[in-house]
Amino acid sequence: MLRETGEAGLYRVVLLHHPLAAGVVARRKALTDAYGMRAALGRAGAELVLHGHAHEALLNVVPGPHADVPVIGVPSASTPAGLPHDQAARWNEIDIERHGAAFQTRVTAREITANLGIVTTGQFILS
């Protein structure tokens, strides 16, 4: 499916619960077929992989057939701000624009503050 949608020029987002990068979570909590998933992305590619489970903001890459595939994780949506060992609830606003045959992906990270406000913690562009 990834290969077919890529050939059709579509933006492909892969959603996973567990992270793809080795060592991000304990082995017993890791994606058991992460190697196979990374291999599939290496053959077919994707424009973006999103995951949770690690409860921290992460940006990794997986080699794709033509370019690295960005892999983004976010902290839990229910983690309150101010805990000493946890990142506060955060989410990413993702804006995708087509430029001819290419895409530009802009990511804006937003976080819940201790007084239940919302702040922008960063913004970056994936190429």
* pLDDT for 30: 81
| CATH code of the domain containing 16 | 3.30.750
pLDDT band at 119 (very low <50, low <70, confident <90, very high): very high
Strands 90-99, 102-112: pairing is antiparallel
Count of structural domains within the chain: 1
| Domain ranges, residue 33 | 2-126
pLDDT tens, residue by residue, 74-98 = 887 777 777 766 777 888 999 999 9
pLDDT tens, residue by residue, 35-57 = 999 999 999 999 999 998 777 88
* pLDDT for 96: 97
Alpha-carbon distance 97 to 74, whole Å? Answer: 22
